[in-house]
Amino acid sequence: MPTEFQKTIATSTQKVYKSKLNALAAKGFDTVEKVQKEQKKVVEAIKEITGEEQDEGSRHQRRTILSAIFWTVPLPLKNYYHAYWQKATPLSVHGGEHEGEKWKKKKDYGSK
């Protein structure tokens, strides 16, 4: 269960996280222990829930489910979910005229 600090997130966010965790529970991952121990299987379930598209909407759904897991499940700092999170947070542009370009750093944006 969430620590006292983790419980301070907004009630609306808690509701979203609970709905995402319920989606995982429907796939058979209904206890903290299962989510801790079966990380690769849980990631496969996340892919089933969100699809494997690389559009921003799909990646956002993945990040939201992973955030729900991080909020609820005590995990070591390095874990399979962390590696998957990095895939759900792209380091380059997907789609459009800037396909494949690395994201610009804040300091590189000029005022227009």
Sorted by where each begins, the domain ranges of the chain are 6-90
Q: What is the mean pLDDT of residues 12-18?
A: 92
Q: Give the percent of the chain with pLDDT over 70.
A: 79
Task: Give the tokens for residue 92.
Answer: 């380059």
Quick one: CA torsion of 96, 97, 102, 103, rounded to 10 degrees?
A: -70
DSSP 35-93: HHH-HHHHHHHHHHHH-S--SHHHHHHHHHHHHHHHHHS---SS-HHHHHHHHHS-SB-
Q: What is the pLDDT of residues 61-78, one digit of tens each?
A: 999 999 999 988 988 888
- Based on the number of CB atoms within 10 Å of its own CB, is 49 exposed (0-12), middle (13-18) or buried (19 or more)? middle
pLDDT mean over 15-37: 95
Q: Is the dihedral of CA 16, 56, 51, 47 positive or negative?
A: negative
Q: Give the mean model confidence (pLDDT) for residues 13-38.
A: 95
